[in-house]
């Protein structure tokens, strides 16, 4: 007797939804052989019913009300691809209450409301799977949650937003400033008409929050993340970084420290010799440092219809395999058993330990450099490298570039305020963080 097909309801058939439909249709036989039974999308909910019908034809029932899917007792798994915090949260909670397993690509929802959603799912004995929420088609959630489960994770650093990586790659290769490249990214479809979530680092922070929770066994705490985007980056700093052997990337970083967990997103200088520094265009990459395995790198497409659909369908297969398993025998949502989660504090940015790149526009006169280095020394900050641009004939000011060794961020902030107050410092000091990722 053949095992009945798992029935899936799809909420939203936009870019990722249509990709999920196509991948499931195209690879259904391969997927059935892996899952042990068929998986079929039998209902689709979308406000644009006509467009949805043009994609699925008569192979699935199309409705305009998502609750028709949630109420249907034949539906085993609900896939939420609507996005955002609003109606998506309501529908996910209703699907869980109705005893449905949930697959979602919604990093914003889980980063902000994950604790509540996972608790509700645990109570109902259903799975919430979210591989597609971080780094698109790269199976980083599964790697952290299962593949690296023998390890004490030390740190995770990732290029986890393709839009910003495309912009930074173009700024570097073409020597253009941010505003020009953003316009080009919007024209090519890499950036949204309103790119705020991407360029201000919020999207990357949602993803870093989820990876941090899985890596360290802590609750999701997006509100504690330090977030800084790329809007103030200038082409001149990208050029100086390159001269010193570094590339600038927007990284999501989370690190284990004795006093707590660092969780931050910001532009970061990375040595050019590191593989992650050479990830260009809209690609994503995540580096994970484990005590047993050492350094591992995960690279691939972080967005797009079928790459993200690849992760959605993988979650559907996982749930199908576990469909009849006791909830006690399933992999925990955030890798650690619910009763073993720790409320380790997320450190404020002033307590983070990192190195710095500084660019100072100064008067070209004797004694300037010694005053600057004295201020740094007084704060216990040591210099790793220094570059002084030759001033042009008749020019009485120059750029001084300083790379520091690791220091506590709070000390650097004090030093920056003191250097900025010097009469010989002629413009706002540019400071960027630097990570060796060794």
Per-residue pLDDT tens over the stretch 251-302: 999 999 999 999 999 999 999 999 999 999 999 999 999 999 999 999 999 8
Starting from the edge strand earliest in sequence, which strands make up the sheet with 77-80, in order? 61-63, 39-45, 6-11, 77-80, 101-104, 128-129
- At residue 23's C-alpha, the angle toward residues 28 and 42, to 5°, is 65
- List, for residues 366-408, the tens digit of each pLDDT value: 899 999 999 999 999 999 999 888 777 678 899 999 999 999 9
Q: CA torsion sign, 105 to 191 to 264 to 159?
A: positive
**Catalytic annotation on 174?**
no
SS3 content of the chain, % helix, strand, coil (to 5): 40, 25, 35
| pLDDT of res. 72 | 98
**DSSP symbol at 143:** I
Copy the structure tokens of residue 376: 């740094």
pTM > 0.85: yes or no: yes
Position 409 pLDDT exceeds 70: yes
Copy the structure tokens of residue 249: 């990337």
| pLDDT of res. 2 | 66
Stretch(es) of the chain classified as CATH 3.30.70.260 = 351-434
Which residues are bridge partners to 358 per DSSP?
402, 431
Catalytic residue among 100, 107, 207, 249: 207
Residues 91-113 have a mean pLDDT of 97
- The distance from CA 193 to its chain's CA centroid, rounded to whole angstroms, is 20
| pLDDT of res. 342 | 86
Q: Which CATH superfamily is domain 6-139+305-340 in?
A: NAD(P)-binding Rossmann-like Domain (3.40.50.720)
Position 333 pLDDT exceeds 80: no
- At residue 268's C-alpha, the angle toward residues 433 and 232, to 5°, is 90
On whether the CB atoms of residues 203 and 252 are closer than 8 A, the answer is: no
| pLDDT of res. 431 | 98
Stretch(es) of the chain classified as CATH 3.40.50.720 = 6-139+305-340
HSE, side-chain direction, 13 A CA sphere, residue 367: 3
- Relative to beta strand 294-301, strand 283-290 is antiparallel
The residues near 224 (Cβ < 8 Å, ≥ 6 apart) are: 263, 346
Residues 299-318 have a mean pLDDT of 93
- List, for residues 228-241, the tens digit of each pLDDT value: 999 999 999 999 99
- The confidence band for 336, taking pLDDT boundaries of 50, 70 and 90, is confident
* Separation CA 171–CA 235 (nearest Å): 6
Class of the CATH-defined domain 351-434: alpha beta
* Separation CA 263–CA 208 (nearest Å): 7
Instruction: Provide the CATH number for the domain formed by 140-301 in this structure.
Output: 3.30.360.10
Stretch(es) of the chain classified as CATH 3.30.360.10 = 140-301
């Amino acid at each position: 007797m053949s095992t009945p097909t798992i029935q899936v309801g799809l909420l939203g058939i936009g870019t990722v939804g249509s990709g999920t439909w196509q991948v499931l249709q195209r690879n259904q036989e391969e997927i059935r052989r892996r899952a042990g039974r068929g998986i079929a999308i039998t209902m689709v909910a979308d406000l644009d019913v006509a467009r949805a019908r043009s994609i699925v034809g008569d192979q699935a029932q199309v409705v305009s009300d998502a609750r028709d899917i949630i109420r249907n007792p034949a539906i085993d798994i609900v896939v939420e691809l609507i996005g955002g915090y609003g109606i998506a949260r309501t529908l996910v909670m209703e699907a869980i209450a109705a005893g449905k397993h949930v697959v979602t690509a919604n990093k914003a929802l889980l980063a902000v409301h994950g604790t509540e959603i996972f608790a509700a799912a645990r109570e109902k004995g259903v799975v919430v799977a979210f591989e597609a929420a971080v780094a698109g088609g790269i199976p980083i959630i599964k790697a952290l949650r299962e593949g690296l489960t023998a390890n004490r994770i030390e740190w995770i650093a990732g290029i986890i937003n393709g839009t910003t990586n495309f912009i930074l790659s173009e700024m570097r290769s073409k020597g253009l400033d941010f505003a020009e490249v953003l316009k080009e990214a919007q024209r090519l479809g890499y950036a949204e008409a309103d790119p705020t979530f991407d360029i201000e680092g919020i999207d990357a922070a949602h993803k870093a929050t989820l990876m941090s929770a899985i890596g360290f066994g802590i609750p999701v705490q997006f509100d504690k993340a330090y977030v800084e985007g790329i809007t103030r980056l200038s082409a001149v700093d990208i050029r100086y970084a390159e001269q010193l052997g570094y590339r600038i990337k927007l990284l999501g970083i989370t690190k284990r420290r004795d006093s707590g967990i660092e969780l931050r997103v910001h532009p970061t200088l990375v040595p050019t010799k590191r593989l992650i520094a050479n990830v260009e265009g809209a690609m994503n990459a995540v580096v994970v440092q484990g005590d047993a395995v050492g350094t591992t790198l995960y690279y691939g497409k972080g967005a797009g219809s079928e790459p993200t659909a690849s992760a959605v369908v993988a979650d559907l297969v996982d749930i199908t395999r576990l469909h009849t398993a006791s909830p006690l025998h399933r992999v925990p949502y955030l890798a650690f058993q619910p009763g073993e989660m720790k409320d380790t504090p997320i450190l404020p940015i002033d307590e983070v330990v990192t190195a710095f790149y500084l660019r100072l526009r100064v008067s070209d006169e004797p004694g300037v450099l010694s005053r600057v280095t004295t201020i740094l020394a007084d704060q216990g900050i040591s210099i790793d490298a220094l570059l002084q641009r030759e001033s042009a004939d008749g020019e009485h000011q120059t750029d001084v570039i300083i790379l520091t060794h690791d220091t506590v961020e709070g000390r650097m902030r004090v030093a920056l305020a003191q250097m900025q107050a010097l009469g010989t410092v002629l413009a706002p000091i540019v400071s960027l963080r630097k990570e060796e990722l060794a």
